[in-house]
Amino acid sequence: MSEILVLVEHVEGQVKKVTLELLTLARKLGAPSAVWAGPGYTAEAQARLAEHGAEKVYVADSADIADHVVAPKAELLAQLATEKSAAAVLVAATAEAKEIAARLAIKLDAGILTDVVGIQDGMVAEHSIFGGGVNVRARVTKGLPIIAVRPNSTPVEPAAGAGAEERVSVAVSDAARAVRVVERVKEEKGARPELTEAAIVVSGGRGVGSAENFSIIEKLADSLGAAVGASRAATDAGWYPHQFQVGQTGKTVSPQLYIAAGISGAIQHRAGMQTAKTIVAINKDPEAPIFELADFGVVGDLHQVVPQLTEEIAKRK
């Protein structure tokens, strides 16, 4: 069976959930080969990749890859795709992985599909576009398919693979080393799951009213083990940091459960959350468009409803 390269997403040595989703998808398409680029590789990571079907684990962790963004990883994937005659390359639809995929596509003269939510037989990719309003099926017509898959779009299914480790040395070009990482700045984010990966997201909007009041949203999120999101109105007002913005000019999330509190549901917001499986809305305005999407909605003041919900969840645990 031909190899399907899966670029591993990892943070501090931990394999991220989206990679397990990609391995699950890749098993349907061929023999999954995980590609680890950058520092932090451990036997534990190898085992986790193998448990989810990786037949091979390619490891490239030289400083050339760690100290530069995007370009060296594209060179690594191009080298592997050619050497191993890979049938496809799967990456997560994150900002950096999409850029890696973009440069890879040019190097291999191969087509790229981004923000894919499913892959059917014949490598036909499913997309959800225009804020979830239109479903599109597309395929690559030149070269091997390079597909960036949106996190949370495939349920993870473990299945053992051989997980054979193979060290890869890649001759990174001078051009790919042109952008140096001078410093990596980590901002406090606490113990909450990452927004695009989280199974549950609780978001607050204009109705929250102030930065202080976002603690109501955070408490509900923590009671559910959820990530916190914010609408553009809330980030524009400076109530919550921009990297948590959900919507057209922010992050796209596709969780199992999305709770929107004090968010009216303008198209710009819906574009970032409409593919959530279950949507709950809490808003004072019965006419708010968010209620058109909601599986369950409460017309009421979030400052009453949300704390009561948090308390109720605590009671039922």
Partner 1 sequence: MNIVVCVKQVPDTATERKLRSDDKTLDRDAADGVINELCEYAVEEALRLKEAHGGEVTVLTMGPGKATDTIRKALAMGADKAVHLVDDALHGSDALGTSYALAQTLKKIGFDLVVLGSESTDARTGVLAAMLAERLGVPQLTFSNKVEVNGETITAQRVTDYGYDRVEASLPAVVSVVEKINEPRYPSFKGIMAAKKKPVTTLGIADAEIDASQVGLANSWSEVVDFAAAPPRAAGTIVKDEGDGGVKTADFLASKKFV
Return the number of other C-beta atoms located less than 10 Å from residue 134's C-beta.
9
Residue placing its CB nearer to partner 1 in the complex, 213 or 235? 235
Footprint (CB under 8 A) of partner 1, residues 292-311? 292-301, 304-311
Per DSSP, 46 falls in state: H
Nearer to partner 1, 159 or 179 (CB): 179
H or E element, residue 14: strand 14-15
| 148 φ/ψ angles, rounded to the nearest 5 degrees | -100, 120
Cβ at position 163, least distance to partner 1 in Å: 26
Q: Residue 32 pairs with which residues in a beta bridge?
A: 4
Out of 83, 179, 211, 215, the residue judged to bind partner 1 by CB under 8 A: 179
Other CB atoms within 10 Å distance of the CB of residue 197: 20
**Around 71, how many Cα atoms within 13 Å sit in the side-chain half-sphere?**
14
Binding to partner 1 (CB under 8 A): which residues in 253-272? 256-257, 267-268, 271
Return the residues of window 189-228 that contact partner 1 according to CB under 8 A. Answer: 189, 194-196, 200, 224
Binding residues for partner 1, total number by CB under 8 A: 99
Among 138, 156, 168, 237, binds partner 1 (CB under 8 A): 138
* CB-CB contact of 90 with 6 (8 Å): yes
Instruction: Give the nearer residue to partner 1 in terms of CB position, either 44 or 292.
Output: 292
**What is the nearest approach in angstroms of partner 1 to the Cβ of residue 7?**
14
Give the H/E segment covering residue 222: helix 214-224
User: Would strands 124-129 and 296-299 be described as parallel, antiparallel, or unpaired?
Assistant: unpaired
Could you tell me the smallest distance in angstroms from the CB atom of residue 138 to partner 1? 5
**74 near partner 1, judged by CB under 8 A:** yes
With contacts defined by CB under 8 A, name the span among 54-62, 79-87, 110-118, 157-165 that binds partner 1: 110-118
Among 155, 182, 190, 191, binds partner 1 (CB under 8 A): 182
Q: How far is the CB of 127 from partner 1 (least distance, A)?
A: 9
**Residue in 19, 24, 94, 203 binding partner 1, rule: CB under 8 A:** 94
β-pair type (88-92, 14-15): unpaired
Helix (H) or strand (E) holding 15: strand 14-15
Select from 80, 5, 90, 73 the least CA-distant residue to 38.
73
Beta bridge partners of 227: 201
The residue within the footprint of partner 1, chosen from 83, 142, 158, 211 (CB under 8 A), is: 142
Give whichever of 37 and 309 is closer to partner 1, judged by the CB atom: 309
Please, what is the minimum distance in Å from the beta carbon of residue 120 to partner 1? 9
- Of 131, 151, 163, 265, which lies in the binding site for partner 1, with binding defined by CB under 8 A? 131
Neighbours of 14 (CB within 10 A): 13
